[in-house]
Amino acid sequence: MGAQERTQREKAILESAIKLFNEKGYHATKMDEVAKGAKISKGLTYFYFKNKEDLYMAVTRKAFEGLKDVFRDVFRTKNKNGLQMLVDLVQKYLDYSQENRMYYQAILNFMGMLNLYNNHELRKSIDPLILESEHFQKLLDIHHDCGKFGIQMVSLGIKDGSIRPELQPEITFYTIWSMLIGYERLSGPVNYENKEIKIHIDNWKPGFIRLMQDMLKGSIQASRPNVVQGSLF
């Protein structure tokens, strides 16, 4: 079997799985349905992916790679300062979460799983078939790739003066990311008609972005702090 044929079959299986996960959900999807959608035998499907858990981790890995493309494309944008990049990232991140619902849910599911994985006792509650998946192991290596681009955007903003100089890049970016996850999770309750709070989804997003900008810029123009040299003794 050639490498090209293998790649094509893996792609067909993943596309079939993604379609079914979108339509039926992960738990209701069966491997024989995935094989049928990919137009290959069930046995051959198991040759490429050991089980449904392994397949779902492969889909999650693909989701992270797609999100990483969003971060990378924003970071490579020319003629924009760090703050402008972060504003663009907010919009594109939220677009990704809305346009790729199953992918985004897989990403959040993996993030939640890491809370269990990082605790040796709670790790036992994770399905062993997931822990054995080579795609899960790869996800452990790549899941911070998006954050690395975000941290670089904040660092660039501090350097070019568009972001407050006293902010710490890592803490700042992961705070922004947590805000984005919260925004996406709360967009349903905010958009729900029968609510008593006076907020509408159409004015929440621009308000969210303005608040983030104000937090990053501060109340005064960002400037580099003066370096004070002192003696240790």
Residue 155 located in a structural domain: yes
Q: What are phi and psi of 49, to 5 degrees?
A: -135, 125
Locate all alpha helices (DSSP H) within 76-196, ordered by sequence.
82-99, 101-117, 128-131, 134-142, 145-160, 169-191
Residue 233 located in a structural domain: no
| Residues 33 and 108 placed together within one structural domain of the fold | no
Q: 196-211: per-residue pLDDT in tens?
A: 777 888 888 999 999 9
Q: What's 24's domain CATH number? A: 1.10.10.60
| Residues 34 and 125 placed together within one structural domain of the fold | no
Q: Give me the DSSP letters along 49-92.
A: SSSHHHHHHHHHHHHHHHHHHHHHHHHT-SS--HHHHHHHHHHH
Q: What is the pLDDT of residue 230?
A: 40
Residue 227 located in a structural domain: no
How far, in whole angstroms, is CA 31 from its chain's centroid?
Answer: 26
Q: What's 74's domain CATH number? A: 1.10.357.10
Residue 86 located in a structural domain: yes
Q: Output the furthest CA–CA distance in the chain (Å, rounded).
A: 75
Q: What is the pLDDT of residue 233?
A: 29
| Number of domains the chain is built from | 2
pLDDT per residue rounded down to tens, the chain (233 residues): 678 888 899 999 999 999 999 999 999 999 999 999 999 999 999 999 999 999 999 999 999 999 999 999 999 999 999 999 999 999 999 999 999 999 999 999 999 999 999 999 999 999 999 999 999 999 999 999 999 999 999 999 999 999 999 999 999 999 999 999 999 999 888 888 777 777 888 888 999 999 999 999 985 444 455 544 443 32
Could you tell me the residue range of the domain that residue 92 belongs to?
A: 51-217
| Residues 5 and 117 placed together within one structural domain of the fold | no
Residue 58 located in a structural domain: yes
